[in-house]
Amino acid sequence: MKLKNWKEVNPGSVITEPGSSEKFKTGSWRSSKPIWIEENCIQCLFCWIYCPDNAIKVKDGKRGEFDYEYCKGCGICALECPGKKGNKAIIMVEEGK
Amino acid sequence: MAKPVTLKELSKKEILFASGHRLCAGCGAPIIVKMVLLASDYPLIAANATGCLEVSSCISDYTAWKIPWIHNAFENAAATLSGVETMYRSLKKQGKIDKDIKFIAFGGDGGTYDIGLQSLSGAMERGHDMLYICYDNGAYMNTGIQRSSATPLGADTTTRPAGSVVPGKTEQRKNLTKIMAAHNIPYAAQASPSHWADLVRKVRKALDIPGPKFMNIISPCNRGWRSRTDDAIMLSRLAVETCYWPLYEIENGVTKITFKPREKKPIIDFLKPQGRFKHLFKPDAEDFLKRIQDDIDKEWERLQKEEACFSS
Amino acid sequence: MAKIVAVTGNEAVANALRQVNPDVCAAYPITPQTDMMQRFSGFVSDGKVKTEIILVESEHSSMSACVGASAAGGRVITATSSQGLALMNEILYIASGTRLPIVMPVVNRALSAPLNIHGDHSDAMGARDSGWIQLWSENAQEAYDNTIQAFRIAEHMDIRLPVMICLDGFIISHSIERIEYLEDEQVQNFVGEFKQLYPLLDLAHPVSYGPLILPDYYMEFRKAQAEVNTKVPEVVLDVAADFEKISGRKYGLFETYRLEDAEIGIVILNSAAGTTKDVIDEFRNKGIKAGLLKPRLYRPFPYVETGEALKHLKALCVLDRADSFGSSFSPVYMDIASSLYPYNDKPILINKIYGLGGRDYLPEHAEIVLNELIDIAETGNVKSYKEYIGVRE
CB interface of C with A, residues 218-237, below 8 Å: 219-221, 223-224, 227-228
Query: Are C58 and C186 in the same domain?
Result: yes
CB interface of B with C, residues 114-173, below 8 Å: 118-119, 121-123, 125-126
Q: A12 lies in a domain?
A: no
Q: Into how many domains does chain A fold? A: 1
CB interface of C with B, residues 9-48, below 8 Å: 23-24, 26
Q: A4 lies in a domain?
A: no
pLDDT in tens, C319-358: 999 999 999 999 999 999 999 999 999 999 999 999 999 9
Q: Report whether pLDDT(B242) > 70.
A: yes
Query: Are C91 and C180 in the same domain?
Result: yes
Query: Are C287 and C168 in the same domain?
Result: no
Residue B209's nearest CA partner among B160, B269, B261, B254 is: B254
Residues of A in contact with C223 (CB under 8 A): 6
B105 CA to chain C: closest CA distance, Å? 12
Nearest CB neighbour to B58, from listed C66, C202, C211: C211
pLDDT in tens, B220-229: 999 999 999 9
Q: Report whether pLDDT(C242) > 80.
A: yes
Q: C267 lies in a domain?
A: yes
Reduced to 3 states (helix: H, G, I; strand: E, B; else coil), residue C265 is strand
Which among C247, C281, C313 is the end of a domain? C247
- Say what the pTM is: 0.98
Residue B310, chain A, CB below 8 Å: the answer is no
A73 vs A94: CA distance, rounded Å? 9
Residue C158, chain A, CB below 8 Å: the answer is no
Widest pairwise Cα distance in chain A = 61
Q: Report whether pLDDT(B1) > 70.
A: no
Residue C61, chain B, CB below 8 Å: the answer is yes
Which among C181, C215, C247 is the end of a domain? C247
Q: C161 lies in a domain?
A: yes
Q: C54 lies in a domain?
A: yes
Q: Into how many domains does chain C fold? A: 2
Which among C217, C232, C247 is the end of a domain? C247
Residues of B in contact with A53 (CB under 8 A): 19, 21, 30
Query: Are C272 and C157 in the same domain?
Result: no
Residue A1, pLDDT score:
73
Query: Are C148 and C201 in the same domain?
Result: yes
A62 CA to chain B: closest CA distance, Å? 8
Res. B60 pLDDT band, cuts 50 70 90: confident
Which CATH number does the domain housing residue C288 bear?
Answer: 3.40.50.920
pLDDT in tens, B138-178: 999 999 999 999 999 999 999 999 999 999 999 999 999 99
CB contact under 8 A, C220 and A18: no
Q: A51 lies in a domain?
A: yes
Q: A48 lies in a domain?
A: yes
Res. A42 pLDDT band, cuts 50 70 90: very high
Rg (CA), chain C: 21
B271 CA to chain C: closest CA distance, Å? 34
Which CATH number does the domain housing residue C56 bear?
Answer: 3.40.50.970
C277 vs C290: CA distance, rounded Å? 10
Residue A81, chain B, CB below 8 Å: the answer is no
CB interface of C with A, residues 92-111, below 8 Å: 97-100
Q: C235 lies in a domain?
A: yes
- Mean pLDDT along residues C62-78: 98
CB contact under 8 A, B68 and C23: no
A6, C224 Cβ separation under 8 angstroms: yes
pLDDT in tens, A84-93: 999 999 999 9
pLDDT in tens, B113-122: 999 999 999 9
Query: Are C28 and C170 in the same domain?
Result: yes
Residue-range definition of the domain harbouring residue A37 = 25-94
Residue C134, chain A, CB below 8 Å: the answer is no
Q: Report whether pLDDT(B8) > 60.
A: yes
Q: Where does residue C110 fall: left (phi above 0), alpha (psi -120 to 50 degrees), or beta otherwise?
A: beta
- Mean pLDDT along residues C8-35: 98
B295 vs B173: CA distance, rounded Å? 10
Residues of B in contact with A47 (CB under 8 A): none
Res. C2 pLDDT band, cuts 50 70 90: confident
Query: Are C131 and C189 in the same domain?
Result: yes
Which CATH number does the domain housing residue A73 bear?
Answer: 3.30.70.20
B125 CA to chain A: closest CA distance, Å? 30
Query: Are C15 and C105 in the same domain?
Result: yes
State percent of chain C over pLDDT 70.
100
Structural domains present in chain B: 11-311 (3.40.50.970)
Residue C76's nearest CA partner among C168, C200, C180, C242 is: C200
State percent of chain C over pLDDT 90.
99
Query: Are C90 and C181 in the same domain?
Result: yes
Query: Are C243 and C258 in the same domain?
Result: no
Q: C393 lies in a domain?
A: no
Residue-range definition of the domain harbouring residue C242 = 3-247
Query: Are C266 and C240 in the same domain?
Result: no
- Mean pLDDT along residues B11-29: 98
Query: Are C60 and C159 in the same domain?
Result: yes
Reduced to 3 states (helix: H, G, I; strand: E, B; else coil), residue A35 is strand
Q: Report whether pLDDT(C193) > 80.
A: yes
Q: A74 lies in a domain?
A: yes
CB interface of B with A, residues 18-77, below 8 Å: 18-31, 34-35, 57-59, 61-67
